[in-house]
């Protein structure tokens, strides 16, 4: 008597449509191309900073050097006070960011919760200032700096950077203050908190990811700004990273020191990379917070 062979069981794993897998492959190819195109200039600068001069000037280009050197970094640090430039950029960027958040957060809360007369006009003015190209403010700011005798003073950069970043800070923080439940503020008032105490101890810690995200955007702008820093600061010991990098010269008039310039670019960008990586979680949370309600 022959044994009956049971029929094969149906697979529990659903078959993936071929068009879906094809779209997924195309998606990851597109992502890879975007990442490569975005990181290619950065990688080129990093490799150039470690190349020897013969490989930098060689034709055709040497994309993957076999000879590496640290002489460009040593030359950069020996010829110019690059540590001082880092300090100047850090001081200006940190102070302007703190001022921007310190002034913008209470202003955003007032526009979000308090019933102000002419609130619509205030918001319209803030939005217009946000969309206004800051380079067009250059001549007016130059007259103000000369009148107040702030040339070669850190305030000549801190005040404009704060004013330029303030409208964006107000708009972003206002939208997040509006999403906070009113019961949170009512409970704080019942516990005896005044408006400033409630803002400092309860509301701002709640919106910490948004504060970090907005602060990093303001910090990056202040760190990378070039036009104001080039014009308002002419003293060598007070220059910022972008200006100092642009003014690196060679041993002769006709020499372009690509190696030291690339090294300066890497050193000037490294603090921003470390800052973004350190606050990566808060940045992602701040960008996505409030996107989905429920």
Specify whether 39 is located in the same domain as 63. yes
What is the predicted pLDDT for the residue at 180?
81
Specify whether 94 is located in the same domain as 150. yes
Specify whether 52 is located in the same domain as 107. no
Specify whether 197 is located in the same domain as 214. yes
Residue 52 lies in a domain: yes
* pTM score: 0.82
* pLDDT one-digit tens code per residue, 170-219: 988 888 888 888 888 888 888 888 888 888 888 888 888 888 888 998 99
Residue 238 lies in a domain: yes
What is the predicted pLDDT for the residue at 94?
94
CB atoms < 10 A from the CB of 76, how many? Answer: 23
* pLDDT one-digit tens code per residue, 54-102: 888 888 888 888 888 888 888 888 888 888 999 999 999 999 999 999 9
The torsion angles phi and psi of 68, rounded to 5 degrees, stand at: -115, 150
Specify whether 119 is located in the same domain as 223. yes
Residue 11 lies in a domain: no
Residue 257 lies in a domain: yes
CATH number at residue 123: 1.10.3720.10
Alpha helices (runs of H) in the chain, residue ranges in sequence order: 18-50, 53-56, 71-79, 82-113, 119-131, 138-148, 155-179, 182-190, 195-198, 204-206, 208-224, 227-232, 241-246, 258-278, 280-288
Residue 6 lies in a domain: no
- Show which of 47, 69, 91 is a domain's final residue: 69
Residue 158 lies in a domain: yes
Q: What is the mean pLDDT of the chain?
A: 83
- Report, as an integer, the average pLDDT of 236-261: 81
- pLDDT beyond 90 at 10: no
Tell me how many domains the chain contains: 2
Helix (H, G, I), strand (E, B) or coil at 29: helix
- What's the longest Cα–Cα distance across the chain? 110
Specify whether 161 is located in the same domain as 181. yes
Specify whether 35 is located in the same domain as 135. no
Structural domain for 197, as ranges: 78-288
79 and 231 Cβ atoms separated by less than 8 Å: no
State the first-to-last Cα distance of the chain, in angstroms, to the nearest integer.
64
CA dihedral 277, 279, 283, 284 (to 10 degrees): 60
Provide the b/e sequence for 238-262 (b: ≥16 CB within 10 Å): bbbbbbbbeebeeeeeeeebbbbbb
Specify whether 94 is located in the same domain as 190. yes
90 and 66 Cβ atoms separated by less than 8 Å: no
What's the rounded Cα separation, in Å, for the pair 155 and 118?
Answer: 31
Specify whether 198 is located in the same domain as 245. yes
- Report, as an integer, the average pLDDT of 125-133: 82
Of the pLDDT bands very low, low, confident and very high (cuts 50, 70, 90), residue 287 is low
By C-alpha distance, which of 263, 256, 246, 267 is closest to 75? Answer: 263
268 and 241 Cβ atoms separated by less than 8 Å: yes
Specify whether 121 is located in the same domain as 32. no
Cis peptide, bond prior to residue 255, ω within 30 of zero: no
- Report, as an integer, the average pLDDT of 119-123: 82
Specify whether 157 is located in the same domain as 193. yes
Residue 3 lies in a domain: no
What is the predicted pLDDT for the residue at 229?
92
Residue 14 lies in a domain: no
* pLDDT one-digit tens code per residue, 33-58: 998 888 888 888 888 888 888 888 88
Specify whether 99 is located in the same domain as 62. no
């Amino acid at each position: 008597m022959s044994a009956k062979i049971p029929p094969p069981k149906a697979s529990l794993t659903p078959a993936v449509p071929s068009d879906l897998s094809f779209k997924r492959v195309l998606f990851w190819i597109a992502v890879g191309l975007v990442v490569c195109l975005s990181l290619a200039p950065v990688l080129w600068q990093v490799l150039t900073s470690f190349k020897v001069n013969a490989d930098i000037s060689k034709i055709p280009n040497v994309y993957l050097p076999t000879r590496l050197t640290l002489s460009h970094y040593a030359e950069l640090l020996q010829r110019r006070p690059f540590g001082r430039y880092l300090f100047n950029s850090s001081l200006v960027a940190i102070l302007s960011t703190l001022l921007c958040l310190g002034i913008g957060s209470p202003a955003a809360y007032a526009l979000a919760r308090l019933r102000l007369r002419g609130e619509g006009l205030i918001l319209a003015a803030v939005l217009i200032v946000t969309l206004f190209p800051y380079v067009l403010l250059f001549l007016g700011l130059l007259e103000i700096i000369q009148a107040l005798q702030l040339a070669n003073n850190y305030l000549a950069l801190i005040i404009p950077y704060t004013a330029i970043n303030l409208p964006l800070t107000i708009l972003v923080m206002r939208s997040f203050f509006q999403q906070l439940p009113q019961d949170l503020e009512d409970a704080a008032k019942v516990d005896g908190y005044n408006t400033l105490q409630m803002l400092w101890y309860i509301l701002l810690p709640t919106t910490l990811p948004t504060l970090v995200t907005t602060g990093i955007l303001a910090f990056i702008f202040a760190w990378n700004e070039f036009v104001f820093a080039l014009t308002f600061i002419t003293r060598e010991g007070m220059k910022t990273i972008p200006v100092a990098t642009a003014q690196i010269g060679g041993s002769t008039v006709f020499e372009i020191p690509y190696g030291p310039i690339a090294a300066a670019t890497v050193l000037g960008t490294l603090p921003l990379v470390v800052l973004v990586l350190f606050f990566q979680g808060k940045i992602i949370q701040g960008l996505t917070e409030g996107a989905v309600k429920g």
